[in-house]
Structure 1
Amino acid sequence: MPSAEPAPPPTPVEAPPPPPAAEPPPEPVKAPPRPAPVVEPKSAPKVEAKPDIALEQQKKAKQRKEQDAREQALREAAKQLETRKLADVEARHRRELQEAQRRDDELRAEREAADRVAQQAAQAAEQARQRETQAAQAAAQQARARAVDIYRAQIMRAVRARLVTPPGVQGNPQAELRVLQLPTGEVLSAKLTRSSGDTAYDAAVERAVLAASPLPLPADRSLFSRELLLQFRLNE
């Protein structure tokens, strides 16, 4: 392989000539001094949020506000529902009490009406019983009075059958005697309790009573009386 030839020597560079001497500058003109500038206080630099972060925060705040509003609305609705439920329960309870009171009033009115009817019926029955009793008693008294009248009339007839009117008796004298008799009708005594005013007539009546012994007895032994008060009028 052939050998390389040596490089030629560099060309010498000539130095540039020196610059010309500079002239001295002119004297500057002095201007009047300016007033000191007013330094205004600098406000704190505003940190501007990035647009996407601010929007996200606004969105979240709006969502929280809406959520709070929904929860508040739910609480209010639940409260109103509970209030309505309580009102319904109270109203139903009042209606039940009123219905129970109405039934009690009706039952009491029915009982009172039934009691009045029963009382009226009892009063009517008692009045009817009293009327029947009074009628029966009156009838019994009338029957007894008639029986007594018959009994006394029998005695009077028996005595008059024995009476011998004395001569010379004037007018229509009446003598009253108390007669005591045995249960057999036998006369124990005949005493004058009221004179007729004519002693002969009075004595004749006493003799007639004693002569009529034994006196007639009543058909009903309960009508028998041990003591008799008899009036004898001459013309009867």
Structure 2
Amino acid sequence: MGEDTFWTWFKREFPSSKFGLPNRMSSDDILLQYSTLGFPNLPGKSIALLWELYPEMKEVFKKDIWDQKIERIFQCSKYCTYRTVSSPLAARYYQEFGHVDVLPIGVDTELFKPKRDKELLRKKYGLPLDKEIGFWGGTTHPMKGYDRVLEYAKNHPDIYWIIVWKWDLESDNFSGGHNFIKVNQETLSELMNCANFILFTGLLRSYFMLEWEAMACDLPVRLYDSSLERDFIPSNSPREDVFRQKWDRINTKALWTQYLENKGITW
């Protein structure tokens, strides 16, 4: 979708890094292996990037449809030299394979930030100027909690909604507001700044990237389920929370730099 992801950001910030498997690795090299790729089929140091939430999804939904992916994730965790997760709440799924480190993925706080003229942005996107507007983004996948959005909207009929769907295949025609599908990051940031709050409805404990982006925009957070364990509960200043948790890209780079140096990696 053209996002500036962790991968494109990492390639810029660590310019000697390369995509894909090299022909061979030296003692100064390290492989960053995405978890669903499974066994790191290359001798040398490797870091398992255990960011996918399938083990928790299996635990929450009691289904076996993700078992093949989970098996590959566990192979990655077992056979990589090091293991990293983006949330301490995910560490317990991999501790049987060795020590697990917690490192942020990072959110672009220069792109996702508060914008002053909410009225102008609402006019740009054809949104009402005189209504409270809620924001929600995701898919109809059960882990996102779209059914909770429908329930919340039914119980709060005066709220107008901005609904951003990640892609067509897992979208719905939400009738209580304005639907957007597959928008770029600049548009996403502007739509967040049109709203008065974001509703967190996910059934999993770790925050999704979109939720980090909304917090970086300083968008007030409403938790549908306040009893669900979280890394932290957003404050009245969610943008400050992002920096406090060191999820901005400056802190993310510093933490990754220190981590790689501790593993004997240079660039």
* TM-score normalised to structure 1 length: 0.16
Structure with the bigger percentage of helix:
1
Structure with the bigger percentage of strand:
2
* TM-score normalised to structure 2 length: 0.14
Which one has more relative contact order, counting CA pairs under 8 Å at least 6 apart?
Answer: 2
Q: Which protein has the larger Cα radius of gyration, Structure 1 or Structure 2?
A: 1
